[in-house]
A and B are shown apart, each in its own frame.
Chain A
C-alpha cells in the first residue's frame, strides 16, 4: 500500500469532482433535457406539384395559389421547315390552390381539344422528417376533363349523331406513392386509371390502367433533372396509334418562379391526354420541346395570427 495508492485515489477524486463540473459547463443546454422532437414532414421532394406532365408528391401549401403556364412546341423532327417545332404550340393554363396543406384543388384549360380540367389532390400519408415514423408520402389525385369543342369539331362528329355531354367527359384517378430519399433524390410510382366515357372503337376499353414512375435528381440547390414514364398496362384492348408517355426535363428555380424545361412525346398536359393519347414515338424523334412556368402567390396566410401573437409576446 502506501502513499502511491493514496495519491491515485486522490487523483481519481480530483478528476471526479473537478473534471466533471468543467465538462458539464460546456453543455449547459443539456440541463434542459432531451430536445422535444417537433413533428415535421419531408418537404420539397419535387420543385412543383407536377414532375413534368404528371403529378408529383407535392401540393401547394395552405393559402397558396399556383399559376401554371405549360407549353409544348411541335415535334422537333419537323426540321427547319417547322423551325424544329417552334412554329406550333399547345398550351395549358392552370390554377391550383391549397385549401389546406394536404388538400389542393385546381382547374386548367388546355388548347388540346379545347379541354377544361378540374382536379382534387389529397395527401393521405406524409413522409416524416422528425418526430414521427411514416417512411413515404401517398397522395390521391382525382381529376376530370371535358372538351369544349363545338359539336362539328369533335373527333367523333357525325351528322346523324347526337352530341351527348357525357361523351365529352373523362376521369382520372391516381395514387402517387413516393419518397424523398435524400436532399437530392426523390422517386415515386403512380398507379392509376383513366376512364374515357367514349372511346373510338368498341374493342377499346373505357378504363385504362396505367403506372407512372418518376424521379428527380438535384444538380445543385436550384437546378434539378427530372424524368417520368407512364406505362399503360397491356391486354387492355387495341391502343390505336398511341404510345406511352415519356418525358425528361430540367427544373430551374428562381425565387417565386419554377421553370421546367422538358422533352416529351406527349402533346396534352392533362392526364387523359398524355397517358392515353400520346401520338409521338419518342425514339423516332417525335419529341416536343416544352416548358412549364409556375408562379406562386400567397393569397391567404394561415399562420399570420399565431406569428403576430408571438411577435407581440416578444414585444
Chain B
C-alpha cells in the first residue's frame, strides 16, 4: 500500500515535467510595426527588437517589446510618443501573454502552414486588455517557425489620452502588425 502510493505520487510528480519538456522557440529580433491613419497625418513606426517565445505543443506564446525601441520618421514624433502618450519611462514595455488556438486536427509541431486563433492579454501603458485575433504560422521543415499577425488597438482602451488638438493626427484605432521568425531554443 505504502509503496503503491509512493509510486503513484512519484509518477504524478514527474509527469508534468515530461509534458513541459516540449520544444520551445524564441526570437529577440521580431518586428512590430504600427500604422496610424488619420485625416491630417499618417504615422508609421517600427521596432525590430521584439522578444517572443512560442511553445508549439501547448500553444503558449509571449511577447515583450521595449516601447523606446520604436523608431519614427520624425524625431519629435518619437519624443512625443514616449513622453506624452506611452510614458515609456513609467511603462517601459508592452507585453502579450496568451496561447494559440489551432483548428481541430492541426498539430503545430509538424511542418505546415496554419491559420490559428490567438487569445490572451495585451498590456500596453500598464493597462491589461484581453486580445483575440488570428495569426498565420508557418512551421518550416528546417525547424524554424514564422508567425505573422495583424490586429487593431485603440489608444483609449489603454488609457492613452489623445488631446483634442491632435485628434486629427492620431487614428482612433491603430493597426499593429507582428512578424517573428522563431528559432528553436
Which of A14, A31, A61 contacts B75, CB < 8 Å?
A61
Say whether A43 contacts B53, CB under 8 Å: no
Say whether A313 contacts B53, CB under 8 Å: no
Which of A3, A14, A29 contacts B64, CB < 8 Å?
A29
Question: Which single residue of chain B is at the shortest CB-CB distance from A255?
Answer: B166
Say whether A32 contacts B75, CB under 8 Å: no
Check if B159 is an interface residue, CB within 8 A of chain A. Answer: no
Interface residues on A, range: 35 or more
Say whether B2 contacts A3, CB under 8 Å: yes
Check if A307 is an interface residue, CB within 8 A of chain B. Answer: yes
For chain B, residues 26 to 82, give those with C-beta under 8 angstroms from any C-beta of chain A.
26, 28, 31, 33, 44, 46, 48-49, 51-53, 55, 60, 62, 64, 66, 68-69, 71, 73-76, 79-80, 82
Which of A21, A28, A62, A221 contacts B24, CB < 8 Å?
A28
| B residues less than 8 Å from A298 (CB atoms) | 73-76
Check if B17 is an interface residue, CB within 8 A of chain A. Answer: yes
For residue B59, give the distance in angstroms from its CB to the closest CB of chain A.
12
Say whether A17 contacts B17, CB under 8 Å: yes
| B residues less than 8 Å from A21 (CB atoms) | 16-17, 20
B-binding residues in A (CB < 8 A): 3, 6, 10, 13-14, 16-18, 21-22, 24-25, 27-29, 31-32, 35-36, 38, 40, 43-44, 60-64, 129-130, 183, 221-222, 253-256, 296, 298, 301, 303-304, 306-307, 310-311, 313-314
Other A-B pairs, 8, CB within 8 Å; known A13-B9, A14-B12, A61-B75: A6-B2, A21-B17, A21-B20, A28-B55, A31-B24, A43-B79, A255-B169, A314-B33
Top 10 A-B pairs ranked by shortest CB distance?
A61-B75, A28-B53, A314-B179, A21-B20, A17-B13, A314-B31, A14-B13, A298-B74, A221-B84, A28-B62
A-binding residues in B (CB < 8 A): 2, 6, 9-10, 12-14, 16-17, 20, 24, 26, 28, 31, 33, 44, 46, 48-49, 51-53, 55, 60, 62, 64, 66, 68-69, 71, 73-76, 79-80, 82-84, 87, 89-90, 163, 165-166, 169, 177, 179, 185
